């Protein structure tokens, strides 16, 4: 780790047309990003780290220009290097299908600047415009569909939005006492299926989710497909795509996913324990490419053969 880390690529913000009370770019940036102290913006500008789209530098008194793009470099005090590698499983002229390991963020956010899947792929492929077509939590490993160029993203994002892509996950969880007892006496017929529908809203803190009364806004199909000791192997198919949906739905069945630090009880903030990844894997993507017409059916597996033995 270094004492200060700067993003490898610039971020940008478009100056809104309807803002009329900001005489300078600096005054806009200070108000737009209240979490960053004004002296930090002043130092970045003086150091030449804020510029227009054409590369010309912005100064402390540079006037506000509606609809113009302001480029800047995000910085954090330190950034951990994630000691696991991504893998590109497929690439063509429009898309990349990659395996994202546990603990690696999908894209820059918060204290994550460079150690994310998107940035790694941009550097290794020398394409600065790579963007993900969907979300995948930092804690979850598995398949991610990315677009090489932003103009293609909407077509691929719509596959997820309209349910035109098959997504399957795999999870490991300790069986309920009832299921385990049935298995031990030979009365558990596999697979066991559950349909989970409920209403989920933001919890406290806001990065967690909780189930409340009301019309369902989430739907998952879950199946127990194998038992190893006290551990069940589950196939999960999210019909909707809410944040932490599968983790909350497994909790609602009384079988929280192994090594889940949020459910059923939020654990105190701590450094990543690389020996205890969340046992959740985005295992399969099946879809028809909207641009090329190619039929894809790609799977991966790291829960059984990856970082640690099944059930550990």
Please check whether residue 20 lies inside any domain of the structure: yes
Residues 224 and 109 in one domain: no
Residue with the bigger pLDDT between 18 and 138: it is 138
Residues 217 and 280 in one domain: yes
- The whole-angstrom distance between residue 100's C-alpha and the CA centroid of its chain comes to 10
Average pLDDT over residues 131-157: 95
Please check whether residue 216 lies inside any domain of the structure: yes
Average pLDDT over residues 272-286: 96
- For the chain, the average pLDDT equals 91
Residues 176 and 237 in one domain: yes
Please check whether residue 309 lies inside any domain of the structure: no
Of the three residues 100, 129, 161, the one that is the final residue of a domain is 161
Average pLDDT over residues 175-203: 97
Residue 183: closest CA among 122, 133, 230: 230
Of the three residues 98, 130, 161, the one that is the final residue of a domain is 161
Residue with the bigger pLDDT between 39 and 170: it is 170
Please check whether residue 229 lies inside any domain of the structure: yes
Residues 120 and 34 in one domain: no
Residues 294 and 190 in one domain: yes
- The tally of CA atoms less than 13 A away on the side-chain side of residue 33 is 16
pLDDT of res. 77? 67
Contact 142, 130 (CB under 8 A): no
Residue with the bigger pLDDT between 20 and 143: it is 143
Please check whether residue 306 lies inside any domain of the structure: no
Q: What is the pLDDT of residues 87-122, one digit of tens each?
A: 999 999 999 999 999 999 998 876 777 899 999 999
As a whole number of Å, the CA-based R_g of the chain is 22
Residues 40 and 141 in one domain: no
pLDDT of res. 233? 96
Domain around 120: 87-161
Of the three residues 123, 146, 161, the one that is the final residue of a domain is 161
Please check whether residue 118 lies inside any domain of the structure: yes
Residues 157 and 271 in one domain: no
Residues 170 and 294 in one domain: yes
Give the separation between CA 62 and CA 42, rounded to whole angstroms.
Answer: 12
Give the separation between CA 144 and CA 135, rounded to whole angstroms.
Answer: 8
Residues 253 and 278 in one domain: yes
Residue 79: pLDDT band by 50, 70, 90 thresholds? confident
Please check whether residue 217 lies inside any domain of the structure: yes
Residue 35: pLDDT band by 50, 70, 90 thresholds? confident
Average pLDDT over residues 286-297: 97
Backbone angles phi and psi of 197, in degrees to 5: -135, 125
Distances (CA, A) of 301 to 171, 280, 283, 305: 11, 11, 6, 7
Q: Is the pLDDT of residue 220 over 50?
A: yes
Residues 187 and 249 in one domain: yes
Domain count, the chain: 3
Residues 293 and 231 in one domain: yes
Residue 311: pLDDT band by 50, 70, 90 thresholds? very low
Please check whether residue 311 lies inside any domain of the structure: no
């Amino acid at each position: 780790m270094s004492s200060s880390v700067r993003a490898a690529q610039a971020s940008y913000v478009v100056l809104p047309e309807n803002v009329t009370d900001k005489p300078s770019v600096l005054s806009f940036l200070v108000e737009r990003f209240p979490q960053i102290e004004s002296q930090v913006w002043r130092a970045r500008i003086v150091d030449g780290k804020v510029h227009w789209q054409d590369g010309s530098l912005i100064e402390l008194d540079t006037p506000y220009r509606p609809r113009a793009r302001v480029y800047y470099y995000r910085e954090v005090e330190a950034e951990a290097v994630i000691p696991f590698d991504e893998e590109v499983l497929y690439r063509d002229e429009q898309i990349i299908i990659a395996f994202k390991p546990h603990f690696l963020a999908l894209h820059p956010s918060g204290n994550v600047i460079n150690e994310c899947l998107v940035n790694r792929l941009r550097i290794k492929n020398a394409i600065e415009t790579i963007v993900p077509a969907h979300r995948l939590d930092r804690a979850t490993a598995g398949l991610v569909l990315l677009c090489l160029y932003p103009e293609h993203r909407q077509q691929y994002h719509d596959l997820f939005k309209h349910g035109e892509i098959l997504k399957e996950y795999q999870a490991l969880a300790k069986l309920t006492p009832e299921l385990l007892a049935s298995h031990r006496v030979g009365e558990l017929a596999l697979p066991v299926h559950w349909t989970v529908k409920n209403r989920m809203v933001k919890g406290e803190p806001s990065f967690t989710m909780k189930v409340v009364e009301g019309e369902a806004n989430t739907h998952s199909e879950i199946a127990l497909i194998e038992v190893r000791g006290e551990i069940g192997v589950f196939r999960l198919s999210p019909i909707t795509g809410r944040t932490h949906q599968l983790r909350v739905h497994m909790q609602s069945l009384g079988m929280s996913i192994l090594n889940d630090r949020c459910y059923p009880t939020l654990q105190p903030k701590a450094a990543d324990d690389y020996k205890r990844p969340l046992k959740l894997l985005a295992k399969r993507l099946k879809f028809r490419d909207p641009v090329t017409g190619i039929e894809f059916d790609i799977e991966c597996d790291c829960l059984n053969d990856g970082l640690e033995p099944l059930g550990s």
